[in-house]
Amino acid sequence: MACFISSLPIWSYINSWLFMDFEGQRRAEKIFQLIIVLAAIVGFCIGYAFQMYSYSILTLGCGCLLSCLVCLFNWPWFQLKPLNWQKPLTDIEDKKSK
C-alpha cells in the first residue's frame, strides 16, 4: 500500500510541501532567530519609550507570530537545494550481492 501511495503523482507534490532540505532548515533557523531578536529589541525600545511593559510583551508576541508564519511553513525559498536520493536496488541486484 505504501508503495502504491508513493507512486502517485500527487505524492511528489505533497512531499515538496512537507519536507525541507538541510540548507532550508539552516536558513529558517537563522531567520527565526533574527526576527525574535529584532522583535525583542524593538519591543524593549517601545516599552521604554511609553513606559509600558505590556507594549514590550505585545511587540515580542507579534514577532513570535511573524516568525512562525515565516519559518513553520515550507516555503519555496527553503527548498533551493533538494537532496538527491539514490535509486532503490532491485531484487536481482540484491540476490547477486548475497
- The pTM for the full model equals 0.70
Q: Provide long-range contacts, Cβ within 8 A and 24+ apart, for 39-42.
A: 39/63, 39/64, 39/66, 39/67
56-73 b/e with 16+ CB inside 10 Å = b?
A: beebbeebeeebeebbee
Reported as a single tens digit per residue, the pLDDT across 4-32 is: 555 666 666 666 667 788 899 999 999 99
Residue 76 pLDDT greater than 80, yes or no: yes
